[in-house]
Structures are given as structure tokens and as C-alpha cells.
């Protein structure tokens, strides 16, 4: 509450925040997490915590009057619908050139994401983060992250036989016939649970059309893993529905953290200041960058590095669909959890890692949907606008053209081989590419540039960055394993040298 003093305060409860909270509490340090979203632990009137993708209600989107689904259209119809404004679990935050999807709630992105748990290619990791010892990462911190997150692998015999992964097998067949390599992708969704869903023994979630608005079962989101372990120490407090708006040096030691308490309709009902000895920024690439850029510009943390706000990228995300022939169905049954990718990353002409994504519409669509991660080198910056008092992101839609060009090199070839075409009805009317949004915001407070080599904001002892803003714009695979492993590495160093 207002006027409290705490040893450690963590802003946000996604991957970076959950790792920080676990390692701090295990070191015996009482820790408070402040999270703007709600705690997703209480069912609604339908008995479920989350709503499904085919019947979104107010729980789907963060303070919005209408849903804003990534696949917005289908054969000429916009499938979005009006909803009541509520602190829903998925935010599509709009900047002038891009919408950034993010999870809102205790668990952050882990509540809404596809659970794909991919360790990056070592040579690319070394290229993007040359200051980080790769042996420590690949021998210690990536294994630690995978264990902590509960990563598991699909039973390949089951994959080959179940109707629920027909879409992935079709995507594989068409890719391999054009000479591309596919690979199984590990996940934090419990694939053994999914088998029981198929057998009708448990509540369906991954086989029940649930993912981007939350999974009611099956998924090991952070509230079930890192955060549960941190809570078990007895040293963790989680304050939900509180949005941090400011951090500044306190008059004595430590930092004053200003926060607004909101109700479930988003109304501000109280403003509080808590003083903390250490503050860990874990509000995600966008949340942390916005806070730090505005604190620097408004003179609350004026000495922050000029690199704060720089180096933001969209991990090269491009979403798109191909229309298969009728002899290549993708299935009326589709698991919501992806399990396979097309790996063309090592081709310098078309560096693409494309997830074969489900489109669980409940009917046969013949669509192969993909989320491509491309080696798009374009970057943008966060800037404070003194007129509006808000932080903008300089990204322009045109910066995704290079990602589209890489994607086309792979999928034009598949289309030629299969005599198929791209769908033009999924992202608007006659719009082929989902190129105006990202699931993978990265950067804005890059490691060893805006911070020191362990995420310290060195100009302000006791301030640390621990989330996806440390990753320089692109990691070549889905990012949460990297974010988790880097947080593990940095917390190890911070706890043993700064907090011992
Ligand atoms: P986040 O997980 O975003 O956590 C930040 C938290 O801080 C949020 O809970 C937020 O509400 C809170 N917050 C923000 N600002 C404030 C503030 N001012 N005050 C208080 N709290 C605040 N990645 C993968 O690796 N595999 C996937 O399969 C995958 N699928 C995805 C699917 C979707 C639909 C989306 C949206 C993302 C997906 N991602 C996936 C990306 C992944 O979820 C993110 O990279 C990851 O969550 C980022 O972790 P983080 O710790 O940086 O921040």
C-alpha cells in the first residue's frame, strides 16, 4: 500500500519478472511484483477462467470495445466483434506503424502465447549478443530455463497419427517437396495432457480452440511454474491491477515507484508510491522501454544512457496463409498449439524460421497458416512526445518489406511446386501479408548498450532490466526461452555480486 517500503520491487510478471522474483525470493529477499493485468485464477459466470478463440467475450482483450484478432478476416468478412471494456488477457497495443500483441495478467505473455519453447541457434545468439559467454548460456542457463519452464516434446508417433496435427503434416509435406527442412518444436503445453484430451478423459483446451485468449488447462504458464515456486518461498507478494507510471530516486536511499490501481473496467481508483531498494524492470520490451524513455525525458532518471529506447525490432514477424488444393486438407480438427517449424535460417538469401500455425476454425479451410520469423535487420526507437506525454515507436510498416521479401523466397517456391497461391482474405480485403503486427517485440533497452552486460542501469545503482527489452530486436526463433535464460544468467550475477 501507499507509503510502503520494500527491499525488491519487480515491475511486471512475464518471463523476466518471474525469473527475477524466483531467484530473489530464494535468496531470502522479500519481493513485491506489481502487475497491471489481473490475476487469472477466478472463473467467470460460465465456470471458465478464459474464453475460447471462436467465442471471445470481454475477457479476450485489454480495455477494448472490439476484438482485434490477428487473423481478422475470412472470405470477405471481418470476424471481430464488439465486447465490453475489461482488463482482458490480450492487448494489441497500437503504434503508428505496428500493433504489438502482449499478454496482460499475472504471467504476462505466458498466458496467451503458443508455448513454443525454442533455444536459439548458437551461432546466431553469439552474433547478436557477443558480450555474453555462450558456454555459460548453452551449458547452464538455457538448460536451467528449459527445466524451469517445464518444456516437453511431442510424442512423434502420436503426431503422425492424430487428426489434430493434420495441418502440421500438410505443412511439412508441401515444404519438404520444395526441398525445405522441417523440425519439431518443443513446447510448454503438456503434450501428454493433450493426448488425454483427444481420448475425452480431461477438459479440452489445446484441442478445444483455446490459446491466444488463454488456456483453461494443459499449458504450463508462468503462474504454474516460476511464479508458483516463488510464492512457495513465502517471500513473494503479487499486487495485480496496478500499473507503474513512474520510477525516480527516493529522497533517502532507493527509488520511489509510483503506480495507479485500476478496477476491472480500467478506471484509476488510487495512486500509490512504494519505495524500493532495488527495482527490476520486467514490463516487457514495450512496457520497460516506454517507462525508461519517459522517465529520462521527463527528468526523473535523466542520467540513463542515450541508448535507452534504441534497438527495437519485431523479430522479423510476418503472418500469412497459403490456399492448399482440396487433396491437401488441413483438417477441421486443429490443435491450437504449434509443434513444427520450417527451418531455412541458414540460407543467407532467405533466412526464415516459419512456424506451421494452426487455424482452428472448426471446419475445413484448406489454409496453411504460417508465422515467419525472418532475419529482418530493420530497427526502430521509442521516443517521448512532449505534446501528448506519451511514448511513440518509430517503426513504419514499410520496414517489414525486407521480411516479406525473405518469406517470399521460401513460399513462392512452395507455391510454384504445388501450383497454389497465397490467401488474400485473412488480414483484410486483398491483403496477403499480416505485416502490420508482431507477437515478438524485442529490444528498446539492449544488453551491454543501454545497460551493462548484466542488465544493470549502471547510472542508477539498484535499477535493473530483466525482460525482452534486453534482446537486440531479433533472435531468429520464438523468444521466451532466450528471455528466460538471459534473466537466469543476469540474476545469478546480480544476486551474487550486488545483493550478497
Ligand atoms: P511479458 O511476458 O510481456 O511480461 C510483461 C508484463 O508486464 C505483462 O504481464 C504486462 O501486463 C506487465 N506490465 C507492462 N507494463 C507494466 C506497467 N507499467 N506496470 C505494471 N505491469 C506492467 N514466444 C515464444 O517464445 N513462443 C511462442 O509460442 C510465442 N507465442 C506468442 C503468441 C502470442 C499471441 C503472443 C502475444 C506472444 C507470443 N510469444 C511467443 C512471445 C512471448 O510471449 C514474449 O516474447 C514474452 O512474453 C516476453 O516476455 P517478457 O518477460 O519480456 O514480457
Helices marked H in 64-180 — which ranges? 122-128, 134-136, 142-149, 156-161, 166-177
Nearest ligand 1 atom, CA 108 = 9
Mean pLDDT of 350-374: 96
Nearest ligand 1 atom, CA 245 = 18
The band of 433, judged by pLDDT with boundaries at 50, 70 and 90, is very high
Count Cβ atoms below 10 Å from residue 179 Cβ, excluding itself.
Answer: 10
Decide: 280 in ligand 1 pocket, CB within 6 A.
no
How far from each other are the two terminal CA atoms of the chain, in whole angstroms? 27
pLDDT of residue 73: 87
The band of 500, judged by pLDDT with boundaries at 50, 70 and 90, is confident
- The CA distance from 8 to 462, in Å, is 9
- The CA distance from 171 to 66, in Å, is 32
> Phi/psi zone of residue 415: left (φ > 0), alpha (ψ -120 to 50 degrees), beta?
alpha
pLDDT exceeds 80 at position 33: yes
pLDDT of residue 75: 77
Mean pLDDT of 437-443: 98
pLDDT exceeds 90 at position 2: no
pLDDT exceeds 80 at position 479: yes
Kindly compute the dihedral angle of the four CA atoms of residues 122, 126, 127, 129, in this order, to the nearest 10 degrees.
130
Beta bridge partners of 456: 464
For residue 494, how many C-alpha atoms fall within 13 Å in the half-sphere facing its CB?
A: 30
Strands 99-103 and 437-438: what pairing? parallel
pLDDT exceeds 90 at position 320: yes
Among the ranges given (198-202, 296-300, 426-430), the one the predictor scored with the smallest mean pLDDT: 426-430
Enter the DSSP assignment of 141: I
pLDDT of residue 270: 98
Q: In what order do the strands lie in the sheet with 367-374?
A: 182-184, 340-343, 352-357, 367-374, 317-323, 421-422
C-alpha cell at 390: 506519451
Q: What is the ipTM of this complex?
A: 0.99
pLDDT of residue 429: 86
- The CA distance from 145 to 314, in Å, is 23
Nearest ligand 1 atom, CA 102 = 36
Decide: 114 in ligand 1 pocket, CB within 6 A.
yes
In 3D space, the residue among 131, 177, 139, 465 whose CA is nearest the CA of residue 304 turns out to be 465
- The CA distance from 103 to 105, in Å, is 7
Mutate to test the pocket of ligand 1, among 9, 72, 103, 145 (most ligand atoms within 8 A of CB): 103
Mean pLDDT of 466-484: 98
pLDDT of residue 469: 98
The residue ranking higher by pLDDT, 77 or 471, is 471
64-117 per-position pLDDT tens digit: 999 999 998 887 788 899 999 999 999 999 999 999 999 999 999 999 999 999
Decide: 315 in ligand 1 pocket, CB within 6 A.
no
pLDDT exceeds 80 at position 349: yes
pLDDT of residue 468: 98
**Residues in the chain, how many?**
500
pLDDT exceeds 80 at position 205: yes
Q: What percent of the chain has pLDDT over 70?
A: 100
Q: Which residues are known to be catalytic?
A: 355, 440
Q: Which residues contact 36 (CB under 8 A, 6 or more apart)?
A: 12, 104, 241, 242, 243, 244, 262
103-144 per-position pLDDT tens digit: 999 999 999 999 999 999 999 999 999 999 999 999 999 999
The band of 36, judged by pLDDT with boundaries at 50, 70 and 90, is very high
pLDDT exceeds 90 at position 276: yes
Decide: 103 in ligand 1 pocket, CB within 6 A.
yes
Amino acid at each position: 500500500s501507499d507509503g510502503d517500503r520494500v527491499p525488491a520491487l519487480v515491475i511486471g510478471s512475464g518471463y523476466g519478472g518471474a525469473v527475477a522474483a524466483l531467484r530473489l525470493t530464494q535468496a531470502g529477499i522479500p519481493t513485491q511484483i506489481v502487475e497491471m493485468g489481473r490475476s487469472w485464477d477466478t472463473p467467470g459466470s460460465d465456470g471458465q477462467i478464459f474464453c475460447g478463440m471462436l467465442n471471445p467475450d470481454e475477457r479476450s482483450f485489454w480495455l477494448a470495445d472490439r476484438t482485434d484478432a490477428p487473423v481478422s478476416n475470412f472470405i470477405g468478412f471481418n470476424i471481430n466483434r464488439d465486447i465490453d471494456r475489461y482488463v482482458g488477457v490480450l492487448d494489441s497495443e497500437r503504434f503508428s506503424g505496428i500493433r504489438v500483441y502482449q499478454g496482460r495478467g499475472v504471467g504476462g505473455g505466458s498466458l496467451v502465447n503458443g508455448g513454443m519453447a525454442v533455444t536459439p541457434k548458437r551461432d546466431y545468439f553469439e552474433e547478436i549478443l557477443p558480450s555474453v559467454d555462450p558456454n555459460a548460456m548453452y551449458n547452464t542457463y538455457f538448460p536451467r530455463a528449459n527445466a524451469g519452464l517445464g518444456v516437453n516434446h511431442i510424442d512423434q508417433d502420436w503426431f503422425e497419427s492424430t487428426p489434430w496435427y493434420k495441418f502440421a503434416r500438410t505443412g511439412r509435406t508441401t515444404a519438404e517437396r520444395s526441398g525445405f527442412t522441417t523440425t519439431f518444436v518443443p513446447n510448454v503445453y503438456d503434450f501428454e495432457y493433450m493426448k488425454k484430451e483427444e481420448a475425452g478423459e480431461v477438459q479440452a483446451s489445446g484441442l478445444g480452440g483455446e490459446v491466444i485468449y488463454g488456456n483453461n488447462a494443459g499449458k504450463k504458464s508462468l503462474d504454474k511454474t516460476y511464479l508458483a515456486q516463488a510464492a512457495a518461498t513465502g517471500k513473494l507478494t503479487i499486487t495485480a491491477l496496478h500499473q507503474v507510471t513512474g520510477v525516480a530516486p527516493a529522497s533517502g536511499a532507493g527509488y520511489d515507484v509510483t503506480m495507479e490501481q485500476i478496477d476491472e473496467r480500467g478506471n484509476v481508483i488510487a495512486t500509490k508510491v512504494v519505495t524500493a531498494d532495488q527495482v527490476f524492470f520486467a514490463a516487457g520490451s514495450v512496457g520497460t522501454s516506454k517507462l525508461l524513455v519517459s522517465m529520462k525525458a521527463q527528468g526523473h532518471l535523466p542520467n540513463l544512457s542515450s541508448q535507452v529506447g534504441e534497438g527495437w525490432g519485431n523479430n522479423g514477424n510476418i503472418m500469412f496463409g497459403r490456399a492448399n488444393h482440396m487433396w491437401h486438407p488441413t483438417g477441421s480438427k486443429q490443435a491450437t498449439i504449434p509443434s513444427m517449424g520450417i527451418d531455412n535460417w541458414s540460407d543467407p538469401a532467405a533466412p526464415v524460421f516459419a512456424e506451421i500455425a494452426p487455424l482452428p476454425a472448426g471446419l475445413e479451410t484448406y489454409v496453411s497458416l504460417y508465422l515467419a520469423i525472418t532475419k529482418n535487420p530493420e530497427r526502430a526507437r521509442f521516443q517521448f512526445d512532449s505534446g501528448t506525454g506519451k511514448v511513440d515507436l518509430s517503426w513504419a510498416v514499410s520496414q517489414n518489406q525486407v521480411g516479406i521479401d525473405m518469406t517470399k523466397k521460401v513460399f513462392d517456391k512452395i507455391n510454384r511446386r504445388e501450383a497454389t497461391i497465397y490467401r488474400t482474405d485473412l488480414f483484410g480485403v486483398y491483403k496477403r501479408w499480416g505485416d502490420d503486427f508482431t507477437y515478438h517485440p524485442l529490444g528498446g533497452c539492449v544488453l551491454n548498450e543501454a545497460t551493462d552486460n548484466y542488465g544493470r542501469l549502471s547510472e542508477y545503482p539498484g535499477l535493473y532490466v530483466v525482460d525482452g527489452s534486453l534482446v537486440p530486436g531479433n533472435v531468429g526463433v520464438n523468444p521466451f526461452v532466450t528471455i528466460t535464460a538471459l534473466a537466469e544468467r543476469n540474476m545469478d550475477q546480480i544476486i551474487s555480486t550486488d545483493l550478497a
